[in-house]
Structure 1
Amino acid sequence: MSIGDKIKNKAEELSGKAKQGVGEATDNPRLYAEGEAQEAAAHAKQAGEHVKDAGRDVRDALS
């Protein structure tokens, strides 16, 4: 995973957490749910990047 991807995914995760906080503070369930979804999407992207990295590591080890 490139450092740029890590930064983008972390920024998306933090943005989702912020939306959750604002949604909770303003009693806005739609905004809270939007934040949860954004955070979950960032986690899924991070997991996908980890799988890619593991695949590259295996390929490199077998070369």
Structure 2
Amino acid sequence: MSASEKAKAQMEQVAGKAVRKAAHAMGKEDLAVKGAALEARGKARHVKEKGKGP
């Protein structure tokens, strides 16, 4: 897993979580769904990169 891909995956997870939590706090469920999707994309990228090996 390259360092840049690992950082990108982590950034997507963190950004998605922040968007999701902020949207829930403001009561904007459509934005919360987009944040959850971004977080899931980051997790999927992490799993994909982890599976590539050294």
Q: Judge same fold: TM > 0.5, yes or no.
A: yes
Give the corresponding residue for 1:41.
41
Structure 1 stretches of 4+ with a deviation exceeding 3 A read none
Structure of higher RCO (CA pairs closer than 8 Å, 6+ residues apart): 2
Report the TM-score when normalising by structure 1.
0.80
Gaps of 5+ in 2: none
Q: 1:5 is matched with which residue?
A: 5
Q: Distance in 2 between matches of 1:11 and 1:42?
A: 7
Query: Structure 1, residues 9-59: CA drift from partner, whole Å, max 9, x if none?
Result: 101110000111111110000111001100001111111111111xx5xxx
How many residue pairs are counted as aligned between the two chains? 54
Gaps of 5+ in 1: 57-63
**Whole-angstrom distance in 2 between the partners of 1:8 and 1:50:** 13
**What is the root-mean-square deviation of aligned Cα atoms in Å?**
1.0
From the CA coordinates, give the structure whose radius of gyration is larger.
1
